[in-house]
Structure 1
Amino acid sequence: MTRVCTLCLWLWVAVASEADIVNSYSMTPPVLSITEEEYVINAKDTLNITCRGQHPLEWSWPGSQEDTIQTGKESDSVFFVSSDGIRTVKEEDCEGTETKPYCKVLTLTGTQANDTGYYRCYYKYINAKIEGTTAVSTYVFVRDFEQPFINKPETLLIYKKENIRVPCLVSIPDLNITLFLATSVIIYPDGKSILWDNKRGMLVPTVLIKDSLFVQCETLIDKKHFKSSFFLVHIAGNELYDIQLSPRKDMELLVGEKLVLNCTVWAEFNSGVDFQWDYPAKQ
């Protein structure tokens, strides 16, 4: 595959270790009122979690950046409502303690299966969000027996790896999950090469699904079959054979003249090529 572009950019970025960033701080991580790594509620229940810490706090939750709209803000509370108007979220300051003077409560009403996921509390003004140091989280399953799968349709990119994870997420933690292929083959977790994780999905050998048009996860609840959304299987290349910039010779231009450079990449079929550019006048 060949891609042509009209400039050439190389981007050099210096990244500091997150651990180094927080070494200069003396702190203990925030703590939650829910101490379990997994917490289960039923759909339509109200979820209430309290977080306390040494510094100002902030919450993130599933879909907090996608389907919620801030409808009001006061000095000690923030209100959100989902786009469908059913689910409401409230962040509210609460009374701290001597050792943890900051406190923030997250209250979620009208819970749905899609509210399943990680609920994280972190120090608001510290950029490095490191679990167990500047942040703490718990995974909440919002159990809905009519909606056991919560993923949206998506494309599953297959690279030259031995294993691939099919991210079919569930609202019920203790389901028996199988993987259905377009070829009508059913794959069962065996605890060895095929592994099921109720927070991440199913890990399978790539060779088992690479020739299938799509895959779906399946489960059985009270003799009723449920299927996840489709995962379309797409074989993606990742080999870069050559890259050339033309013209290759040094050039001299007058002020006001246009400079045109061509960057050409030869890569494996179906490879995704992301061109980035660097030049003296770049801000």
Structure 2
Amino acid sequence: RRKPKSERRQQPLQKKTPVEAAAPSAPAPSILTRVLGRGHFQKVGDSLSLRAGEPELRCRGKVVRWRVPVYLEEEGEGRLRIKHFSQHSRLQLVNSTGADTGEYSCWARDCQDAACTEGEDRQGKTFIFVTDPEELFVPTDNYYEVIQLRSHQPVLLPCQVTNPLAQVTLHREFPPEEVPVDGTDISFDVKKGFTIHRPRASLAGSLFCLASLRGMRQISTKYMLIYINYPSSSPKPTIQASTTSVLLGENFSVACTVLSEPEIAVDFRWEYPGQKMGRPPYVSEWADVVHKEGQAQQEAGSTLYVEEARAGDAGVYTCRATNLQGTGMATTRVHVT
């Protein structure tokens, strides 16, 4: 049992030889601050929530470059004011609204020569939420946005909120239901929106985000998700002739085969010596599901048939296989004697 304090033995203090520990290096102060007033500044963290108004940022450095949300780069003429001074640069945003929500960053160089060609670059950044009581989502121009839901590729539904305190859920329009967000298949980032990490055909259709804050509810742009069974890589065809040495007048064939995920469209194109003689291509194509190493795969192929071989049919036969990721090529040589 645990002894009460009165019963515990007092251990004699032992003198220890002091060991000099390396002092931890202090983190470099951020070069980016928020201007609160004349001579008053606030350190900015990973994110910052501001009411609509005229926020002002300051970045320390002799040579400073700024990056702001794309919306401001395109539409911020007259409202976005940047002024450079000898030791810092100032960014002012006039009449800010929820649409100005996004990441603001600056790069500064500590110059080591007069021309400032040598020096160390430093960066400061923060994500600013411009809270807007009338807009819980960063407004967009589109009522509907079409997004390709590709297998094997995460996809972002960019319903960005203007207030990090808003509760956001994902919903299907038809049939009306909430889409479960488990953090694995689908996750939410308050700075970006919902990311679908494992796209599947059942998620196709019209989806939207719903934000709730202090009794107010708003829906985002509606996202029309179109599922595409997208290949993980470009085709890697294999090619094989029924025989590599043919007698004049004999028939032969050349087969081109591609293994891929099921239901992946593959287009085949042939280049063959007989084209120069005007020989038309006689081709048959197929696609079957096969099981290899416990996994279902698609085996797609194309066979080129050559009847009554002539001397002009000798040479290199090339198969090009194309899917949505790219094109692969394979060649073989046939001799006619």
The reply to whether TM is greater than 0.5 is yes
Residues 186 and 198 of structure 2 are in contact (CA less than 8 Å); yes or no, is this contact kept in structure 1? no
Residues 150 and 168 of structure 1 are in contact (CA less than 8 Å); yes or no, is this contact kept in structure 2? yes
Whether 1:51 aligns to 2:59 is yes
Residues 154 and 197 of structure 2 are in contact (CA less than 8 Å); yes or no, is this contact kept in structure 1? yes
Name the counterpart of 1:110: 95
- Could you list the per-position Cα deviations for residues 168-191 of structure 1 after superposition, in whole angstroms to 9, with x for gaps in the alignment? 111111111110113312024445
Residues 184 and 197 of structure 2 are in contact (CA less than 8 Å); yes or no, is this contact kept in structure 1? no
- Could you list the per-position Cα deviations for residues 122-142 of structure 1 after superposition, in whole angstroms to 9, with x for gaps in the alignment? 148x9xxxxx95422110000
SS of the equivalent of 2:137 reads coil
Name the counterpart of 2:51: 42
Structure 1 residue 234, shift from structure 2 partner: 1.8
Structure 1 Cα separation of the partners of residues 93 and 181 of structure 2: 34
SS of the equivalent of 1:172 reads coil
Structure 1 Cα separation of the partners of residues 210 and 179 of structure 2: 10
Aligned residue identity for 1:51: C
Structure 2 Cα separation of the partners of residues 244 and 134 of structure 1: 52
- In the superposition, relative to structure 1, how do residues 220 and 247 fare at CA in structure 2: closer, same or farther (>3 Å)? same
Structure 2 Cα separation of the partners of residues 105 and 202 of structure 1: 33
- Could you list the per-position Cα deviations for residues 233-253 of structure 1 after superposition, in whole angstroms to 9, with x for gaps in the alignment? 02234333467585889x9xx
Name the counterpart of 1:60: 67
- In the superposition, relative to structure 1, how do residues 208 and 186 fare at CA in structure 2: closer, same or farther (>3 Å)? farther
In terms of fraction of residues, the more strand-rich structure is: 2
Residues 51 and 130 of structure 2 are in contact (CA less than 8 Å); yes or no, is this contact kept in structure 1? yes
Name the counterpart of 1:94: 85
Whether 1:142 aligns to 2:130 is yes
Residues 57 and 91 of structure 2 are in contact (CA less than 8 Å); yes or no, is this contact kept in structure 1? yes
Aligned residue identity for 2:220: S
Let me know the Cα RMSD of the aligned residues. 3.7
Structure 2 Cα separation of the partners of residues 52 and 67 of structure 1: 26
TM-score (norm 2): 0.51
SS of the equivalent of 1:177 reads strand
Structure 2 Cα separation of the partners of residues 238 and 245 of structure 1: 24
Aligned residue identity for 2:50: I
Whether 1:234 aligns to 2:241 is no
Structure 2 Cα separation of the partners of residues 192 and 273 of structure 1: 29
- In the superposition, relative to structure 1, how do residues 133 and 57 fare at CA in structure 2: closer, same or farther (>3 Å)? closer
Residues 29 and 136 of structure 1 are in contact (CA less than 8 Å); yes or no, is this contact kept in structure 2? no
Name the counterpart of 1:122: 107
Residues 195 and 204 of structure 1 are in contact (CA less than 8 Å); yes or no, is this contact kept in structure 2? yes
Structure 1 residue 111, shift from structure 2 partner: 0.2
Unaligned runs of 5+ in 2: 1-27, 34-42, 112-119, 238-267, 277-318, 328-337
Name the counterpart of 2:163: 172
Residues 149 and 204 of structure 2 are in contact (CA less than 8 Å); yes or no, is this contact kept in structure 1? no
Structure 2 Cα separation of the partners of residues 265 and 234 of structure 1: 28
Structure 1 residue 49, shift from structure 2 partner: 0.3
Identity fraction in percent: 18
- In the superposition, relative to structure 1, how do residues 238 and 205 fare at CA in structure 2: closer, same or farther (>3 Å)? closer
Aligned residue identity for 1:52: R
- In the superposition, relative to structure 1, how do residues 199 and 247 fare at CA in structure 2: closer, same or farther (>3 Å)? farther
- Could you list the per-position Cα deviations for residues 201-253 of structure 1 after superposition, in whole angstroms to 9, with x for gaps in the alignment? 1234545674432211002234332100011202234333467585889x9xx
TM-score (norm 1): 0.60
Structure 2 Cα separation of the partners of residues 166 and 238 of structure 1: 18
Whether 1:215 aligns to 2:203 is no
Name the counterpart of 1:158: 149
Residues 200 and 227 of structure 2 are in contact (CA less than 8 Å); yes or no, is this contact kept in structure 1? no
Tell me which of 192, 195, 200 is aligned to 1:203: 195
Structure 2 Cα separation of the partners of residues 245 and 31 of structure 1: 60
